[in-house]
Amino acid sequence: MNINLKQGQWIGFVYAALATIIWSGNFLIARGLNDKIPPVSLAFWRWTVATIVVFPIIIKSVYTQRKLLRQHAGYLVVTSILGVSVFNTLIYIAGQTTSALNLSLISITFPVFTIILARIFLKEPITVSKTGGVMVIIFGVILLVSKGNLNSLFSMSFAIGDVWMLLASLIFAIYSLLVKSRPLEIRPQSFLGSTFLIGLIFLSPFYLFSLNGSDSGLYDQVTIYSILYIGIFASVVAYFLWNRSVDLLGPSKASMIYYTIPIFSGILAYIFLNEKIMPVHLISGLLILSGIFIANRKAAG
C-alpha cells in the first residue's frame, strides 16, 4: 500500500511539473500576442480549439454519464466558469496593462491562496515545514524576478493589470480546490470535456460583444500557430495533467510545483528568445526547488 501511495505521489508531481512547463510556454505566447489579438478573443479561440480537439476523445464518456453530469450541473457550471471562462481571460487582460515582472511576482500568490483555502475548506494542516518551504520559495521567486536587485522592487509601479492578475490567482486556487472536490463517479474525461464546453458557452457572449465595433485582431501565421498551441497543449494536455495531479496530491502539494513556472519560463526564454541565464537565475532556481522539497517533506513522527 505504501509503495502504491508513493508511486501515485511521484506521478502526481510529474504531472504537475509537465503542466507547469506547458503553461510556461503559454505565458511567453500570450505576452507575444498582446498587440495582435484582444484578450477575450484569444481566450475564446483558445477554448474553441481545445473543445474541438477534446470532443472526439470524451464524447462517449460524456454521453454515458450524461445523467450523472446533469445531477452535478451546478458544480460543473461554477468550476467551468472559474477555471475556463474567467481565469485565463483575466491573465490575458492583465497582460495588457502591466509588466511581465509584475505578473511573475503576483502569480506566486496562487499557491499561498491554495494553502489558506485548503486549510479553511478541506481542513488541510498548515505545517511548519510547509510554511518554511513557502517562505524559501517566495524569496527565490522574488530574487529571480528582481534579477538579484531587491531594491528594484521598491521602485516598481502597479497598474490595474496587477489587480486582475491577483484576482486570477485567487480564482485558480478556488478552481484547484473544486477539482479536488470532484465527485468520484465523474470520470476525468467527462469532467474535462464538460467543463471545456460549458466554459466556452459562457465565454461566447463576451467574445461576440467584444467584436461589436472593435478590431477583432490580426490572425497571421504566428497567431494561428500560437492559438493552436495554447488550445491543444496549454488547455487539453495541461489541464488534464493538472487535474490528475490534484487528484493524486491534493491542491496544496500540487500548487507547490506551480512555483517552478519562473524557472521553466527562463529556460524557454533562453532556448527560444536567446535570453541569457545568469548566476542569479541558478541561485533562484535552487531556492525554489529547495523550498518545494521542504514544503512537501513530512514532519518527523
Rounded CA separation 47/215 (Å) = 20
Q: Position 223: which residue type?
A: T
Residue 100 lies in a domain: yes
Cα of 207 vs its chain's centroid, Å:
22
Q: How many domains does the chain have?
A: 1
Rounded CA separation 158/51 (Å) = 35
- Which residue has better confidence, 215 or 12? 12
Confidence check: pLDDT of 219 > 70: yes
Residue 92 lies in a domain: yes
Calculate helix-pair angle for 87-97, 39-64, nearest 10 degrees.
170
Residue 3: the pLDDT is 37
- C-alpha cell belonging to residue 97: 496593462
Residue 301 lies in a domain: no
Rounded CA separation 29/230 (Å) = 8
Largest interatomic CA distance in the chain: 64
* pLDDT tens figures, 137-175: 778 777 766 667 767 666 666 678 778 888 998 999 999
Rounded mean pLDDT of the chain?
Answer: 82
Q: Quote the percentage of the chain above a pLDDT of 90.
A: 34
Residue 184 lies in a domain: yes
Q: Do residues 134 and 291 lie in contact, with contact meaning Cβ atoms separated by under 8 Å?
A: yes
Q: Do residues 251 and 100 lie in contact, with contact meaning Cβ atoms separated by under 8 Å?
A: no
Contacts 24+ apart (CB under 8 A), 218-224: 218/36, 218/37, 219/37, 220/36, 222/32, 222/36, 223/33, 223/36, 223/37
Residues 6+ apart with CB under 8 A from 249: 9, 12, 13, 16
Q: Highest mean pLDDT range out of 17-31, 209-223, 240-254?
A: 240-254
Residue with cell 477575450: 40
pLDDT confidence tier of residue 43, bands split at 50, 70 and 90: very high
Residue 78 lies in a domain: yes
Residue 300 lies in a domain: no
Cα 27 to Cα 22, 23, 34, 95, 252: the distances in Å are: 9, 6, 11, 9, 22
pLDDT confidence tier of residue 100, bands split at 50, 70 and 90: low
Q: How many C-alpha atoms does 275 have within 13 Å on its Cβ side? A: 14
Rounded CA separation 273/209 (Å) = 35
Residue 239 lies in a domain: yes
Cα 255 to Cα 9, 90, 114, 192: the distances in Å are: 13, 19, 7, 19
- C-alpha cell belonging to residue 99: 509588466
Task: Find, among 216, 226, 164, 208, the residue nearest to 37 by Cα.
Answer: 216
Residue 4: the pLDDT is 53
Confidence check: pLDDT of 98 > 90: no
Average pLDDT over residues 43-51: 95
Q: By residue range, what is the domain housing residue 118?
A: 2-295
